[in-house]
Amino acid sequence: MRTLMYHDIAPSASRDEVGFPGPLAARYKLEPEAFEAHLDALAQTRLRVGTLATGSGPPPQLSLSFDDGGSSALLAAQALERRGWRGQFFITTGCLGTPGFLAAEDLHDLARRGHAIGAHSHTHPTYMGRLTREGLDREWRLSRDVLEDILGAPPRSASVPGGHLSHAVIVAAAAAGYELLFTSEPTARVGRLGEMAIRGRYTIWSTTPARVAVAYSRGRRIACARLWLEWNAKKLAKNVSPSAYQALRRVRAGSVRAGRS
């Protein structure tokens, strides 16, 4: 099974009104028409699309996840439902109820409609892997407690914000009680730490064509290898010099925005 990692769905003119603002976050936000094209192309694969949250029934061949908890999750959920699918929505709980993000009642609605709700930390730290163990415990446990208070049951799953993974991040997530942790590593391999499963995801950018999303979903070697190499290059840059990596991201984000204007 493979998982595609989406974020918000928003027109370019109003991207700062949905989810996290700014050019760095905008790199992950798909135009609504592009998102529909992705879903149409994925439907053509005839892969079984679903979630792993329930722990019952036949496992899906493909799952679609949405990070951050931006308000466009409601539109994304509707688009999935029109095709008979359900998605996995990972929530930055410290942003709940703030402008551009989902509210508690939205989570109730999504869960009632069969979508999976998971944690995406409480404050969405840029470099979660550099937090102390105390900080990691706070991020994972507080986000889990907030979702349990809202939904009446603790979430089974979580996803790592910022893509900055470390062994300590995984250990803290397992200690917090999660059964399933999603990372940003583009792999279909499943790791384990005790009772917790660890799954990678394939990042979808604002510029990712539908055909590339299909290639990821089918495990096409060239597309998957290219993303894997990119991910590992970023991982190295983050570990060597986070400040330099952030500066490079800002330059690239500005270049993308200038090319569209």
Q: How many other C-beta atoms are found inside a 10 Å radius of the C-beta of residue 109?
A: 14
Domains of the chain: total: 1
pLDDT at residue 259, as a whole number: 41
230, 205 Cβ separation under 8 angstroms: no
Per residue in 177-202, pLDDT tens? 999 999 999 999 999 999 999 999 99
Q: Cα 94 from chain centroid?
A: 16
pLDDT, residue 92, reads 98
Give the domain extent around 25.
2-260
Give every CB contact of residue 237 below 8 A, 6+ residues apart in sequence: 244, 245, 248
Q: What is the structure's pLDDT at 242?
A: 58
pLDDT in tens, 37-56: 999 999 999 999 999 865 55
For range 210-219, the mean pLDDT: 98
**CATH at residue 200:** 3.20.20.370
Q: Does 261 have pLDDT greater than 70?
A: no
